[in-house]
Amino acid sequence: MFIYSDSNKRYHTYNYFLKQKFGCKVAKLSLDAGFSCPNLDGTKGYGGCTYCSGRGSGDFAGDPRDSLREQMEQQRTVMEKKWPNCRFIAYFQAHSNTHGSLERMRNCFESVLDQEGLVGISIATRADCLDEEKADYLAQLAQRTFVEVELGLQSIFDVTGERINRCHTYEEFLQGYRLLKERDIPVCIHLIDGLPGETREMMLESARQVGQLHPHSVKIHLLHVIEGTVMAQQWRRGDFPLLEREDYVSILCDQLELLPPEVVIQRITGDGDKATLLGPLWSMDKKKVMNAIDMEMARRDSYQGKRL
Ligand code: SF4
């Protein structure tokens, strides 16, 4: 059996990590604190990443017109029906949640700390929205509660970054990542498989190099083409193909084999908004994709980190 698993999973799931750390089921409450993004507001660019729906990865986050406490309360009720007695991580998900003043960050993050059942906070942002002062603050906050920071990278290749209008380089990502790593703040790095122009080898190389950074965790998303985005226009023009399920499963299993076993795998698919998802439509059957990954790892008699 894989060392970081108490089930049939052959990779280090986030559920397993949370259960080991907190001794119970922990659910993430997705929040929209009203931050923006440097790639939308003109600080770095306008229009955003070509796949961005306008809310970053926050399509499932709460409504920013509601207070953070209201957003938490609404989602908490839903989670508690599913998992009575579960505890919570406040997930600042929409946009770039360190793109603003330190004071604003402090007001947002600290306003939820006294919520019942809260065991930590998770902060999604871009590496180019961090500096020494913000990293010092996050390190102080981590003395008071569990803190993890999610950094979008998507690909280590600058040519891809330019193609998707990411508006930061891999080197800039590394600078922000190091600010957190030096302070022992757990970092979750996001990658996307299936980006335009990327070959299988490029996706594997991104996983390999991310593994060498030894982040706390990784999220691997499948590229989703969402209605209304620049990428939707490119895809309709036939500029790039979408991954087939078999290819995605095979690439994903290769990537798991290249990631160190200690690295927690927070996600290995994507959750597209069904109402606006143009493709790949097979990804809507998430259970089937997850099962196919488990079956392929078992067929290979493989596990996370096998090819290190
Ligand atoms: S960094 Fe995130 S929020 Fe900003 S444009 Fe890209 S996907 Fe959207």
What b-and-e string marks burial along 37-65, b requiring 16 or more CB atoms within 10 Å of the CB? bbbbeeebbeebbbbbbebbbbbebbebe
What is the pLDDT, as a whole number, of residue 62?
A: 82
Segment 198-223 shows an average pLDDT of 98
**Which of 59, 93, 95, 162 best tests ligand 1's pocket when mutated (most atoms within 8 Å of CB)?**
95
Residue 242 scores a pLDDT above 90: yes
CA dihedral (117, 121, 122, 123) in degrees, to 10, reads: 140
What is the pLDDT, as a whole number, of residue 36?
A: 95
Nearest CA to ligand 1 atom 2: 56
HEC profile of 54-114: CCECCCCCCCCCCCHHHHHHHHHHHHHHHCCCCEEEEEECECCCCCCCHHHHHHHHHCCCC
What is the pLDDT, as a whole number, of residue 69?
A: 94
Segment 94-98 shows an average pLDDT of 96
Structural domains for the chain: 14-299 (3.20.20.70)
How far is it, in rounded angstroms, from Cα 272 to Cα 278?
9
Share of the chain above pLDDT 90, in %: 94
Q: Is the Cβ atom of 37 under 6 angstroms away from ligand 1?
A: yes
Is the pTM higher than 0.95? The answer reads yes
- The pLDDT-based confidence of 57 (bands split at 50, 70, 90) is low
Which numbered atom of ligand 1 lies nearest the CA of 53? 8
Q: Is the Cβ atom of 190 under 6 angstroms away from ligand 1?
A: no
CB 62 within 8 A of CB 75: yes
Residue 58 scores a pLDDT above 60: no
Higher-pLDDT residue of 271, 191: 191
